[in-house]
A and B are shown apart, each in its own frame.
Chain A
Amino acid sequence: MAVKISMKVNGKAVTAEVEDRTLLVTFIREHLRLTGTHVGCDTAQCGACTVDMDGRAVKSCAFLAMQAEGASITTIEGVAKPDGTLHPMQAAFKENHGLQCGFCTPGMVMNAIDFARGNPNPTEQQIREALDGNLCRCTGYHNIVKSIAAGAKAMAAGK
């Protein structure tokens, strides 16, 4: 059954008609063509599809598009400044080599930004626990942990 949905994505109002079973991640990737949000599993465990929904990092594969009715969504494409300047968390990943193949990266960054908002000066253990829902096969997490520590500090400093 087709349903009509409306929401805000990266600050822009979007309205569309989708099949009721359409996942939020499919809506973002296939309908809006925002392909920075990735799909790495089918059991809501890898976190590659993480987006920000109303100020909270969520796995967009675990929502139907129609559950996001009226919500405000930010995807990885909406994180940097309009002039292209990286968000401090993105910059921290770049400076600390917190990514290799880049596939898990958008989800990592979206989760890290949410985490850092509530944890401006996190310990290594807190960061590792906060990454429980995001899998990376390339980095061994070492540099992701460093990136998030640096990114959280930079965010707190208002950079």
Chain B
Amino acid sequence: MNAPLIGARIERKEDYRFLTGAGQYTDDVTLPNQSHAVFVRSPHAHAKIKSIKLDRAKKAPGVLAIYTGEDLSKLGGLPCGWLITDVNGQPMKEPPHPSLAQGKVRYVGDQVAIVIAETEDQARDAAELVEVDYEVLPAVVDGSKARAKGAPQLHDIAPDNTCYVWALGDKAACDAAFAKAAHVTKLEFINNRLIPNAMEPRVANGSYSRADDAYTLYVASQNPHVERLLMTAFVMGLPEHKVRVVAGDVGGGFGSKIYLYAEDVAVTWASRQLGRPVKWTSDRSEAFMSDAHGRDHHTVAELAMDKDGRFLGMRVKTTANVGAYLSTFASCVPTILYATLLAGQYKTPVIHCEVTAVFTNTVPVDAYRGAGRPEATYVVERLVETAAREMKLDPAEIRRRNFITEFPYQTPVALQYDIGNYNATLEAAQKLADVAGFAARKKASQAKGRLRGLGYAAYIEACGIAPSAVAGSLGARAGLFEAGEVRVHPTGSVTVFTGSHSHGQGHETTFAQVVADRLGMPIENVDIVHGDTSKVLFGMGTYGSRSIAVGGTAIVKALDKIVAKGKKIAAHLLEAAEADIEYDRGEFRVKGTDKKKMFGEVAFAAYVPHNYPHDKLEPGLNENAFYDPSNFTFPAGTYVCEVEVDPETGKVTVEKFSAVDDFGKIINPMIVEGQVHGGVTQGIGQAMLEGCRYSDDGQLMTGSYMDYCLPRADDVPSYQVDTRETPCTHNPLGVKGCGEAGAIGAPAAFINALTDALGVKDIPMPATPQVVWNALQKKN
């Protein structure tokens, strides 16, 4: 028997191909007779299209076809996958979202036409010759101004640019709690709009085979089956079995590659018109103005406390800017994935949250790493830290006083936490961060003329998305289970097919560890296949830190069936009763004896069934399973950030960042640590560097790496990370998920540290040197 693989730091199986340039990303796929597409995009934030002249462009060298909204008018619009019902019981406003503009453009970057040519350069040259006559309209870009009187209106069906006003929680009880509070802490802030920036830009390559009357779409996607379902059933009206979607190696997602995008539809549709494969590769400038953005909340939040700092109630009012159209999951991010997390790690007895979602002339906003949960954590943890300062309480102590300590715990905002130990992660983080030595370090900084501050964030997230029935009752238009298949080969090696998708997470290794561990075989004997609808039975894909908790469990369920069948085969081979067969990592044994069959022997018998219970059992060893979780999982932890500020320049340095997470059971600690490092860096990026900016007339001001500050290696420190473990109670692996935690907890920890250093109540994100310097000037 082999050593346990669960919990082992195993080098990744996928790395050899990535390190030698042998990865196959979507743009690396070039099909026979390939043609290339370039999109004509709106240069205006809001305009009527008076006319489109294509004559000159069509005559340009190499041009094969040009299509506009008129050509695609028979296709359905891009659907939104989650129906939110507003405070009056009315459905949210869902304006049509055409793949190519129908008479009007609503943001800079909105697609107007697709130009297809023999080469990409020829398509680009011809796109320059497309003449679009626009009647420019006034634009609104700021969510908090979208409902103002006289604001430009984006969609006829959405008066006041309002998609919905939605609320969660008991308002009357909440107001009553505030009425008896000894102290109320109040903050008003913006959770800044971010641009995801996976390093691989989006790519879509559609082809059509007349011989098979079938389509294949190669696309950089996090969830190829969902992409296919949405595209066939809602947009193109195609039979699902006639479309294959392949998402091979994908260079990062962070949410931005979940969605069905207009370009995917346009190239797939055009491939049939032309009878040739059509490939579109986004350049980075296009990515800035066409990948779904993240966050963009304007929030007023209040926390009511008694005289000892015990929380009595929380009141939150948020305006969420969803951009020009509803992207695939846009509607659930600022509601279901946000307001339900406002209890945080605390026993706050009543919470009320009201969210107004508005349309503006900006890129559609959707889930970006964390999706709603970073915004919720920012609300809770900024309030808690500020409350501690106002009440003259130690920020760790105020948290301890309010921590939930008994489980399961029903929050006032719909979730039931199954398990956690928040004191354990807080205490471990304090040690890891050497909070005890902070005073001395602060003094040393002062001696150099620098300001030093320390801040906490004790986050919680709901992952393992999601119990389908719960999601459905909240408006989800899809199930959120996962599927897996375990195919045992005659010689005992195994190929596993998963509906989860890896775009950096390392599933080919983590999932193989689970399988090899259970089957008691070397990890080299297990391969994981994902990302192709023609190979994988079904899948809901990867987002919401769901892969190991939901996708991993589906595989475990299939493994259970393999073992159950293996026991029957082994019982036959060993001439024992099935009930007497026990299985332990690779060995089927007759209880209390030394009689046994190895897993490989059983597999061989299943495929060479000479001696086999044919009367009771089919040959072969291949099982699949669908798993729908009974609850969300609740990863939680404490982050401690320590910053130093140079008051002369406003430059902030993250001196220490310590993260202690409880992700439940951990399969591969090396990979988990990597997820935390990356997530924390995106969180620090949001808090210190990154911010999408539009001019008042809707021009994207941060449209390149010259203007949008992605964290670089010398902007961030090396991190100290550790874990504590309370295994999830409702999945067999005890796992919770780890992909988003860093991005959820880090912004509040950073701003709490920075406001401590500066001695100010609040500072906006991103806290660039200019922002910090201005805050210091204002204070002095």
The interface of chain A, by Cβ under 8 A from chain B, is: 19, 21, 29-30, 33-43, 45-46, 48, 75-77, 79-80, 84, 86, 90, 93-95, 97, 99-106, 109, 124-125, 127-129, 131-132, 134-146
Contact = CB atoms under 8 A, between A and B. Distances in A.
B20 A101 contact: no
Contact of A141 (B12, B22, B249, B681): B681
Closest 3 CB pairs of A and B: A36-B21, A103-B251, A102-B18
B20 A41 contact: no
B84 interface: no
A94 B17 CA distance: 11
Given A35-B21, A102-B249, A140 B719 contact: yes
Interface string B584-599: 0000000000000000
A97 B14 CA distance: 11
Nearest to A107: B199
Contact of B506 (A29, A86, A100): A100
Given A101-B503, A128-B713, A40 B19 contact: no
9 contacts: A39-B201, A75-B21, A76-B20, A97-B673, A101-B252, A102-B504, A105-B18, A131-B714, A141-B681
Contacts of B356: none
Interface in B213-256: 249-252, 254
Interface stretch (B319-327, B438-446, B629-637, B704-712): B704-712
Given A102-B249, A135-B199, A135-B710, A97 B21 contact: no
Contacts of B285: 42
Contact of A40 (B12, B200, B674): B200
Contacts of B11: 94-95, 97
B199 A127 contact: no
A137 B121 contact: no
A43 B254 CA distance: 22
Contacts of B649: none
Contact of B23 (A30, A94, A102): A102
A21 B678 CA distance: 37
A125 B715 CA distance: 11
Contacts of A97: 11-12, 670-671, 673-674
Contacts of A35: 21, 24-25, 27-28
Contact of A101 (B19, B197, B250, B284): B250
A140 B12 CA distance: 18
Nearest to A134: B713
Chief secondary structure at chain B's binding surface = loop
A141 B25 contact: no
B350 to A, nearest CB: 38
A139 B199 contact: no
Interface in B651-673: 670-671, 673
What is the interface residue range for chain B against chain A? 35 or more
B352 interface: no
Contacts of B90: none
A112 to B, nearest CB: 11
A95 to B, nearest CB: 6
B451 to A, nearest CB: 22
Contact of B15 (A19, A94, A139): A94
Given A43-B705, A146-B718, 12 more contacts: A43-B284, A76-B21, A94-B12, A128-B713, A136-B199, A138-B199, A140-B678, A140-B679, A140-B682, A141-B681, A142-B681, A143-B677
A125 B15 CA distance: 26
Contacts of B30: 30, 33
A108 B250 CA distance: 17
A131 B712 contact: yes
B283 interface: yes
Contacts of B304: none
B716 interface: yes
A138 B199 CA distance: 9
B409 interface: no
A145 B681 CA distance: 14
Contacts of B25: 35, 38, 103
B198 interface: yes
Given A137-B197, A137-B710, A102 B14 contact: yes
A140 B16 contact: no
A99 B19 contact: yes
A38 B25 CA distance: 9
Contacts of B706: 43, 45
B20 A86 contact: yes
Contacts of A41: 283-284, 704-705
A102 B251 contact: yes
A104 to B, nearest CB: 5
Contacts of A125: 714
Contact of A80 (B20, B250, B704): B20
Given A103-B25, A137-B710, A48 B19 contact: no
B505 interface: yes
A80 B678 CA distance: 27
B728 interface: no
Contacts of B504: 100-102, 138
Given A94-B12, A99-B15, A37 B21 contact: yes
By CB atoms of chain B within 10 A, which of A80, A93, A141, A145 has the most? A141
Interface string B480-520: 00000000000000000000000111100000000000000
A135 B678 contact: no
Which of B254, B284, B719 counts the most A-chain CB atoms under 10 A from its CB? B284
B28 A100 contact: no
Contacts of A145: 713, 718
Contacts of A144: 713
B303 interface: no
Q: By CB atoms of chain A within 10 A, which of B18, B27, B121, B284 has the most?
A: B18
B199 A132 contact: no
Contacts of A139: 674, 677-678, 681
A59 to B, nearest CB: 13
